[in-house]
């Protein structure tokens, strides 16, 4: 029998209980997730900071020094670098936003036909790597080899090419034509939940449409507009493919290309690259900070209540089809034209003007690529890395999201902050940071696929966390509580309740991360070694070595077609999730629901 004191308490048991509670499985799991996420995110950043403030000896970091900053920032080159980066990012953000907003308004707020088609095309755009889009636009608008320039010169009887893709405007267009579907997916939910009755009431009160747009519509959409612009700005600052293929030949350097140039110089200037990375990181972190502030109070702009909300579409009358055809033409030009160009060029060994038959079509390029040993090794490596990264991200973020929302919600913000942090870190910085860190640490990961896996898991933690958190939010905690009362353990609750209900969302997140990992280039360019080729790096190598353009185009087509099939599966999962959902999916979900002509009244408030 336990010994009690004069108050009837058992001090020893109380201390043991407190110790057991302190080292409970959920708390240990929390600590493990925090340590792992912190290692993935902050070890590379710490390595960058350390290298930036130490002497670059050529044999590793030396003593504390500011010489790297002097070398990186003491010339006028840095001002041009900053100007080019900001102009490129701002231009891309504005162009992409305008194009995406036009698609979003057409799909979500009007009765124009083709809404489901445009939504599907936007999702399929994820399958196209940015590197391949940049290559395609060079085939179209290069002053020397661009077939469109050749056609325009012939029609207009010009001596010089009228369009030059090797310019700042060309860079902005090449990236915007690839990103505008993302702008639509970001703006679509906000327009979908905007109650038109507020605008109608303002019109009936005597306001004209311009006044209503400025006083009612724009203020309600302000969080969505600011967050979309800031996110697009960060993506522009972090872009590597377009500046590498189009900017470098035009002598238009940005931070991402200059950082990579410093690392591949002889000898490698890791300290200078680290110093440059800190400025790019600071700009992106500042933009993400304002992005979080713009979306922090989004519930203040909610327009959906439980009082019979039903969104209203604008009746366009005779303008329905002209608007739909205009949006279709924008998709055809921005995405269809480069894809058709790649497909056409893949059947010819040398450059062949589009829809001209000066040389016989052949499958030799495909035969060459499919028998190319490095290509086959790169496919195996990319698929293996993509599958492992997607599995690790899905598993880790599921546990992190469950701890943050269920087990220890008081400390959930720590996991959210750690998982979201990589969204502000460009891929080139993740790659450079991991390279520097694991060259210093006594962990033999360099020149193996494992160092690439670390980079991919770090980069895609935010996306996995968003899928997992969105799925868990839709499951009421009473299901887990009833199971626990019935005697089910934590493993049974996960395996028999959570995983079956979350399976469609987790599978969608798995496919999304897999596609992103297979097409990744910004971090991979720093981390690949002689035996670790991936698809992005061999595509870039084949392009820059100046071999057969037809072979490069065939390589692009072989990459795109399977990825489009995988993303089509993502679309199928999206539709299945929507059909199975008993309650409306939150508008903050990564994949917005397909627009519908009519919807049932919703019972929960949605932020933009």
Span 504-548, pLDDT tens digits:
778 878 888 888 898 888 889 888 888 788 988 888 888 887 767
* pLDDT surpassing 80 at residue 16: no
Round to the nearest angstrom and report the end-to-end CA distance of the chain: 61
pLDDT value of position 607: 36
Q: How many Cβ atoms sit within 10 Å of the Cβ of residue 591? A: 23
pTM summary value = 0.80
Residue-wise pLDDT tens digits, 96-117: 999 998 998 888 878 888 888 8
Among 53, 82, 50, CA closest to 67? 53
pLDDT interval class at 207 (50, 70, 90): low
Q: Give the pLDDT score at 280.
A: 86
Cα of 523 vs its chain's centroid, Å: 13
Pick the CATH number of 26-44+359-594 from 3.40.1180.10, 1.10.760.10, 1.10.3720.10, 3.40.50.450: 1.10.3720.10
Supply the pLDDT for residue 309: 47
Retrieve residue 126's tokens: 């994820």
Supply the pLDDT for residue 72: 85
> What pLDDT sits at residue 294?
62
Count the neighbouring beta carbons within 10 Å of the beta carbon of residue 85. Answer: 24
- The answer to whether 525 touches 431, Cβ cutoff 8 Å, is yes
Kindly provide the b/e burial profile for residues 179-204, where b requires at least 16 CB atoms within 10 angstroms of the residue's own CB.
Answer: bbbbbbbbbbbbbbbbbeeebeebee
Q: Is residue 520 within 8 Å of residue 459, measured between CB atoms?
A: yes
Q: Are 236 and 92 in contact (CB under 8 A)?
A: yes
Provide the 10 A C-beta neighbour count for residue 177. 24
Asked if the model's pLDDT at residue 566 lies above 50, the reply is yes
Give the rounded percent of residues in the chain with a pLDDT score beyond 70: 80
DSSP string over 23-41: T-HHHHHHHHHHHHHHHHH
Judge whether 594 and 574 are in contact, CB under 8 Å.
yes
Q: How far apart are the C-alpha atoms of 552 and 535, rounded to whole Å?
A: 12
Banded model confidence at residue 86, pLDDT cuts 50, 70, 90: very high
Could you report the per-residue pLDDT of 359-411, keeping only the tens digit for each?
777 888 899 888 888 888 888 999 999 999 999 998 888 888 888 777 667 76
Distance CA 400, CA 414 (A): 10
User: Residue 329 contacts by C-beta under 8 Å, 6 or more apart in sequence?
Assistant: none
Contact 396, 34 (CB under 8 A): no
In the three-class reduction of DSSP (H, G, I as helix; E, B as strand; rest coil), residue 90 is classed as helix
pLDDT at 306 over 60: no
CATH numeric code, 66-304+316-345:
1.10.3720.10
Whole-Å CA distances, 580 to 135, 520, 575: 41, 32, 9
Q: What does the pLDDT look like over 163-184, one tens digit per residue?
A: 899 999 999 999 999 888 888 8
Measure the CA–CA gap between 426 and 280, rounded to whole angstroms.
8
Specify the pLDDT at position 597: 44
Residue range(s) of every CATH 1.10.3720.10 domain in the chain: 26-44+359-594, 66-304+316-345
- Per-residue pLDDT band for 326 (boundaries 50, 70, 90) equals very high
For the chain, the farthest-separated pair of C-alpha atoms sits apart, in whole angstroms, at: 106
Q: What is the DSSP string of 295-335?
A: HHTGGGG----TTT-----B--GGGHHHHHHHHHHHHIIII
Q: Which two tokens stand for residue 411?
A: 């400390």
pLDDT of 74 > 80? The answer is: yes
Cβ count within 10 A of residue 297: 10
**Average pLDDT value over all residues in the chain:** 79
501, two tokens: 């209900």
> What is the pLDDT confidence band of residue 307, given thresholds at 50, 70 and 90?
very low
- Under DSSP, the state recorded for 247 is I
């Amino acid at each position: 029998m336990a010994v009690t004191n004069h108050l009837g308490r058992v001090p020893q048991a109380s201390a043991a209980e407190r110790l057991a509670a302190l080292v409970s499985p959920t708390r240990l799991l929390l600590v493990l997730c925090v340590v792992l996420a912190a290692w993935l995110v902050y070890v590379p950043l710490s390595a960058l900071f350390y290298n930036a403030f130490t002497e670059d000896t050529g044999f590793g970091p030396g003593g504390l020094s500011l010489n790297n900053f002097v070398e990186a920032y003491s010339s006028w080159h840095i001002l041009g670098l900053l100007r080019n980066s900001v102009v490129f990012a701002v231009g891309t953000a504005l162009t992409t936003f305008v194009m995406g907003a036009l698609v979003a308004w057409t799909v979500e707020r009007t009765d124009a036909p083709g809404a489901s088609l445009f939504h599907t095309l936007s999702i399929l755009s994820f399958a196209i790597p940015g590197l391949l889009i940049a290559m395609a636009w060079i085939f179209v608008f290069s002053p020397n080899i661009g077939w469109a320039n050749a056609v325009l010169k012939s029609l207009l009887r010009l001596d010089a090419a009228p369009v030059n893709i090797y310019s700042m405007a060309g860079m902005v267009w090449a990236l915007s034509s690839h990103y505008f579907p993302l702008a639509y997916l970001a703006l679509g939910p906000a327009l979908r939940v905007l109650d038109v009755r507020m605008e109608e009431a303002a019109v009936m009160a005597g306001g004209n449409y311009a006044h209503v747009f400025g006083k009612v519509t724009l203020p309600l959409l302000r969080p969505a507009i600011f967050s979309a612009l800031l996110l697009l700005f960060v993506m522009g600052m972090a872009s590597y493919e377009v500046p590498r293929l189009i900017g470098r030949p035009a002598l238009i350097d940005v931070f991402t290309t200059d950082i990579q140039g410093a690392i591949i110089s002889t000898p490698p200037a890791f300290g200078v690259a680290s110093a440059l990375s800190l400025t790019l990181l600071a700009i992106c972190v500042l933009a993400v900070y304002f992005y979080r502030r713009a979306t922090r109070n989004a519930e203040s702009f909610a327009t959906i209540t439980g009082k019979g909300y039903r969104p209203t579409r604008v009746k366009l009358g005779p303008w329905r089809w002209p608007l739909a055809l205009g949006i279709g033409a924008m998709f055809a030009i921005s995405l269809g034209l480069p894809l058709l160009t790649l497909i056409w060029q893949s059947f010819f060994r040398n450059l062949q003007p589009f829809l001209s038959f000066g040389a016989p079509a052949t499958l030799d390029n495909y035969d060459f690529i499919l028998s190319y040993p490095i290509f086959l090794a790169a496919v195996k490596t990319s698929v293996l890395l993509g599958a492992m990264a997607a599995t690790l991200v899905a598993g880790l973020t599921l546990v992190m999201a469950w701890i943050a929302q269920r087990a220890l919600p008081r400390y959930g913000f720590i996991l959210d902050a750690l998982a979201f942090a990589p969204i502000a870190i460009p891929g080139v910085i993740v790659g450079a940071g991991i390279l520097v860190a694991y060259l210093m640490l006594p962990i033999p990961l360099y020149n193996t696929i494992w160092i690439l896996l670390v980079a991919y898991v770090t980069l895609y933690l935010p996306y996995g966390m968003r899928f997992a958190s969105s799925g868990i939010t839709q499951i009421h905690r009473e299901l887990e509580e009833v199971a626990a009362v019935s005697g089910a353990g934590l493993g049974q609750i996960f395996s028999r309740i959570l995983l079956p209900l979350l399976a469609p969302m987790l599978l969608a997140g798995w496919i999304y991360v897999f596609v992103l990992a297979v097409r990744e280039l910004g971090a991979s360019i720093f981390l690949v070694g002689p035996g670790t080729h991936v698809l992005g790096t061999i595509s870039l190598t084949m392009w820059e070595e100046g071999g057969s353009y037809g072979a490069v185009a065939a390589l692009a087509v072989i990459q795109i077609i399977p990825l489009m099939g995988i993303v089509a599966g993502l679309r199928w999962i999206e539709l299945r999730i929507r059909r199975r959902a008993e309650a409306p999916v939150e508008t903050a979900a990564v994949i917005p629901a397909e627009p519908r002509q009519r919807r049932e009244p919703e019972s929960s408030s949605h932020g933009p």
